[in-house]
Chain A
C-alpha cells in the first residue's frame, strides 16, 4: 500500500519551491495518487534548454520503500533515455533507490542526467553511438527533438499548424488532427505519422 500521506506531503513540498527548482509534480488525472505527472525544465547550456519535459510517474505499492517508476512522456534524444519508450536508465530508480529520497530528488537526478549523459551505460544504443562517434550530429538531433517535442506549450496554434505543414502534411489534415488531440503538437505528429 502506497503511503499516500507522505506523497501528499511531498507534492506540497515540491510545488512550494517550484519558483526555485522549476520542478512540478501533479496528480495525473485519476482519483488516487499512484499516477503522477512530473515536469522538469531542460538544463541551461544543453541541447535540452528551453524545453519542458513531462515525466510519467507510477508509484508501486511499496512506495517509498520501493523506487517510483518514471518514464519520459515527452520524446527526447539522449543516450540514457529510450527514444522509443522514454524509459530511463538511472541507478537511483533501480538498486540505488533509498526510501529517504523523494519524487523531487529523483526528478532532480533525472534533470542532472540530461546535463551529464553517460554513454557508456546506454539505454538507447543508437543515440549513444551517435553521441560517441559524431557529437555534433547528436547535439543537432537532440536540439531538433527538444524544439519539436518539448516546446509545444510556447507555440501558438498557427505556429503549430505552420510547423506541421512545413513537415509536409496537408493543412486541412493538420488542423483537424490538432483539434482532435486538444492542440498537443506532439500527439498530433504521432497521429499524422501513423496514418
Chain B
C-alpha cells in the first residue's frame, strides 16, 4: 500500500520548476555563491549559548544595564529583574509608563533612605520584636524598608525561606511589609551559621536568570550538556546548542518547522500510538476460520470471503456458506449480522488511510535524512577519489554544498507532511474554513510540495551517481545539475514556508500558529557568550566564578549547519581548567551536593 511515486523522480518533466533560460547565465554566478561560504552564516546568529561559566556574566550584563539606567544598587536591580522575569525591555516600558516609585513598590524594592538621627550606641540594647529579647545594637540589622530585627531572627527567617525554595523573593519579617530583603545581608548572615545554605542561595539567584527568563531555556540534551540558550528577539525559532543538539526553542522538541508546535505535539502523540496501525489490523481484518490468514473486510456486507475461497461471518467469525442477503446469511444465525456501527467503521477506516498516507511520506523522508551520515561518507570517498585524480578540476565544494542542500530540503519536506495532515484535516481548523476552501488551499499547497519533492529526488539521484568514475565532461554536466537543483530546492523551500506563513496559517481567524522561519543555511549554531575579566571585578559571588575571570573567551565562530556532524565546532569550546573546577557550581548537580567552600 506504500505509494512511493516521489521516489521515482525523473519521469514527470512537466512538474519541474526548472527555468531553462536561467540555467546558462546563472551558473557562473552560482559557483561563487555555492562555495563554502554559503554554509557559514554571514550575520550574527540570533541565539547565544550560556555555559555554566558564562551564566554569571550573562546575568551581570542585564543587572548592569538596570543599575545604570535607574541608578540603583545591585540587589535592587536583581529584585526588579526577577519581578519582570529578566525582561529588561518590559522593565523599561513599565518604568516609562508607571514611574519609578510605582514600579519599585510593585516589585518590593524600597529605596527610602532612612535617616537615623542618633545611631544607637553599640553598647546600648534594643528589643527585637520577633524573639522579644533585648539585644545589643551591634547585633541587629536594619533592612532598606527600615524594619529592624536581631541578626539571629533574620538568620532563622532566611534559613526557613531558602529551605522553602523562596530564595528569589525573601520578604521582610514585618507584617504586611512587601520589601524584598537585601541579598548581600542574606548572604552575609546565613553564611556565618550555614555556609552550605548560603551557597544554595547564590545558586538559586544565579539560576533565576534561566528559570525566570522567557528568552532563556536549558538545552534539552540528555544527558544534559550544562548549557542554556538565550534567543535575542524571537522565541519562535530553531537553535543549535554548542553540544550539537538542534531543537525548537519554543517547545524544546526536535526542530520541526514548517510544522507548528501544536501540530508537532499532536503528530508525535499520534505516531506514538503506533497501535493505531495495529488496531487497524485487529479492527479491519479477521482470521479466516479455514486457513487462518487475516482477511480484510471490504464494502458494507458482513459476509466476507477469504482468498482460499472460504466465506465467513464478519461478526462472529464463523464459517458460513456464500448464500446471503443484506441482513441474513443462509443457515447461519449468530444474530449479529446487522449494519450496526457500519458508518463509524467506514469513517475510522477513511481517517486511518488518510493518516497512513501522510505518515508514509513523512517517514520516507525522515528515514532518508537519517541516512545522512552514511551518504556523507560515500560522498567524502567520491570527493577524495576525484581529488586523487590528475585533473584540472579542483573545486568540489559543489558536492558538499549540494549534499547540505539535500538534507536541508528533505528536512523541510518531511515536516511538511504532518503540517498538511493537520492543516487540511478536521482536527484543528474545522471552523476556520469551509470544506471547499480547504480543498482549494490543499491543492495549491500540494502543488508546491510536489514540485519541491521532485526536485529534491533529482538532486538526490545526481549525488548518488558514481560521478567519481566519470569523465571530466560528464562531471561538469553533473556539477551544473547539482548547483542548479540546489538553488531551485532552496527557493522552493522558501516559497513553501512563505505559503504556509502567509496564505495558510496567516489567514486563520480564531487560532494562532507560528512557525520558525525558514533558514536557508540551516539552523544557526548559537554563539558563545563573551565577557571580559573586567566585568567580574567587585564580584560578590567571586568564589563561585573564579573560572570566569579568565581572558576574553574565544568567540565560537558563527557557523551554520545543515549538518549534524560538526565535531570541529565542538573543539572550539573553551577547555575546562580542571584544578579550579571544584570552586564553581556544576549546574548538573542538585544544590545539596555542593560542599561549602572553606
- A positions within 8 Å CB-CB of B: 3, 5-6, 9-10, 62, 64-66, 92, 98-101, 105
Contacts and interface: CB of A to CB of B under 8 A. Distances in A.
B153 interface: yes
Contact of A6 (B131, B175, B177): B131
A98 B129 CA distance: 11
Given A62-B156, A65-B156, A65-B160, A100 B132 contact: no
A171 B72 CA distance: 77
Contact of B173 (A5, A62, A99, A105): A99
Contact of A98 (B132, B133, B159, B174): B174
Contacts of A3: 131
A44 to B, nearest CB: 26
Contacts of B177: 98
Interface in B135-162: 153, 156-157, 159-160
Contact of B130 (A66, A99, A105): A99
Given A65-B156, A65-B157, A100 B129 contact: yes
B160 A5 contact: no
B131 A101 contact: no
15 contacts: A5-B133, A6-B132, A10-B132, A62-B156, A62-B160, A65-B159, A65-B160, A98-B173, A98-B176, A99-B153, A99-B156, A99-B173, A100-B129, A100-B175, A101-B175
A10 B129 CA distance: 11
Which of A62, A64, A99 has the most C-beta atoms of chain B within 10 angstroms of its own C-beta? Answer: A99
Interface in B170-188: 173-177
Interface residues of B, number: 15
Nearest to B173: A99
A6 B131 CA distance: 6
Given A5-B131, A6-B131, A64-B130, A100 B173 contact: yes
A9 B132 CA distance: 8
Contacts, number: 37
Complex A-B, nearest 9 residue pairs according to Cβ-Cβ distance, in ascending order: A98-B175, A65-B160, A99-B173, A9-B132, A99-B130, A100-B175, A65-B156, A100-B174, A62-B160
Nearest to A101: B175
Nearest to B177: A98
Contacts of A64: 130
Contact of B157 (A5, A9, A99): A99
Contacts of B159: 65
Nearest to A92: B175
A187 to B, nearest CB: 36
Contacts of B175: 92, 98, 100-101, 105
Nearest to B155: A65
A65 B158 CA distance: 9
Contacts of A101: 175
Contacts of B130: 6, 64, 99-100
A64 B133 CA distance: 14
Contacts of B133: 5-6
Nearest to B147: A100
Given A98-B175, A99-B153, A99-B173, A66 B160 contact: yes
Contacts of B132: 5-6, 9-10
A64 B174 CA distance: 12
A25 to B, nearest CB: 15
Nearest to B176: A98
A97 to B, nearest CB: 9
Given A6-B130, A100-B174, 16 more contacts: A5-B132, A6-B131, A6-B132, A62-B160, A65-B160, A66-B160, A98-B174, A98-B175, A99-B153, A99-B156, A99-B157, A100-B130, A100-B173, A100-B175, A101-B175, A105-B175
B450 to A, nearest CB: 59
Nearest to A61: B160
A6 B175 CA distance: 17
Contacts of B156: 62, 65, 99
Nearest to A8: B132
Contacts of B129: 100
A78 to B, nearest CB: 24
Nearest to B152: A3
B152 to A, nearest CB: 10
A178 to B, nearest CB: 42
Contacts of B157: 65, 99
A100 B129 CA distance: 6
Interface in B31-54: none
Contacts of A6: 130-133
A98 B130 CA distance: 10
A181 B52 CA distance: 66
Interface string B560-573: 00000000000000
Contacts of A10: 132
A4 to B, nearest CB: 11
A62 B159 CA distance: 10
